[in-house]
Structure 1
Amino acid sequence: MRKVLVLINTTLGSDGKVASQLREISGVTEVYRVQGVYDILAKVEGADPTKVKEIITAKLRKIDDIKSTITMVVTNDGLATALA
């Protein structure tokens, strides 16, 4: 299972609407509205890198009020993995 985190900038005032739309996308497993440089943090999971790329390019980036994204590939699954 491939996991990525996507940092998302939205048009002003649209973060709530975009977050709701993201939650409807299959493969988007977590969505957080955040404050700071980015407006939303989303976790995307897919069977392989190709599936994750498809979710991001064909679905996530097609949402009208998304201005930009930064995608980060997860290389380990948290503290337990890091300490092993």
Structure 2
Amino acid sequence: MVTAIIVMNVERGKINEVAEALADMEGISEVYSVSGSHDLVAIARVASNEMLSALVTRQMQKLESIQKTETMLALQTYSRHALESMFSIGSDGA
């Protein structure tokens, strides 16, 4: 599994429209509108680097309101949430 964080700048007035289009794309698990130097952050989770490449350079490129992107590959997960859910598989909570 390849996880990537994609930050982007979007044309003014198009943030909600782009966020909704991204959220509907296969491979995008979450989209956040954010404050700061970027407008949106998308979390992509795909099976391979090739699938990530297709997502960013083919699917996302169709959204003309996206002005700039930066894609960062996640190397390792340190999330307590991810660890808790991993260890609860098959558990009945007892």
Determine if the TM-score, normalized by the shorter chain, exceeds 0.5.
Answer: yes
Secondary structure of 1:26's counterpart equals: coil
Aligned to 1:47: 47
Name the aligned partner's letter for residue 10 of structure 2: T
CA RMSD in angstroms, aligned pairs only: 1.4
Secondary structure of 1:58's counterpart equals: helix
Which has the higher Rg, Structure 1 or Structure 2? 2
Aligned to 1:7: 7
Secondary structure of 1:71's counterpart equals: strand
Deviation string 1:1-38 (CA, Å, 9 cap, x unpaired) is 00100001000121111000001100000100011100
Aligned to 1:69: 69
Name the aligned partner's letter for residue 58 of structure 1: R
Give the Cα separation in 1 of the matches to 2:78 and 2:29.
Answer: 16
Count of residues in correspondence between the two structures: 81
Give the Cα separation in 2 of the matches to 1:46 and 1:79.
Answer: 18
1:14-25 alignment runs, 5 A limit:
14-25=14-25
- Where does structure 1 differ by over 2 angstroms across 4 or more consecutive aligned residues? none
* TM-score (normalised: structure 2): 0.81
Give how far 1:79 is off: 4.2
Structure 2 runs not aligned, ≥5 long: 81-94
Instruction: Give identity over the alignment, percent.
Output: 26
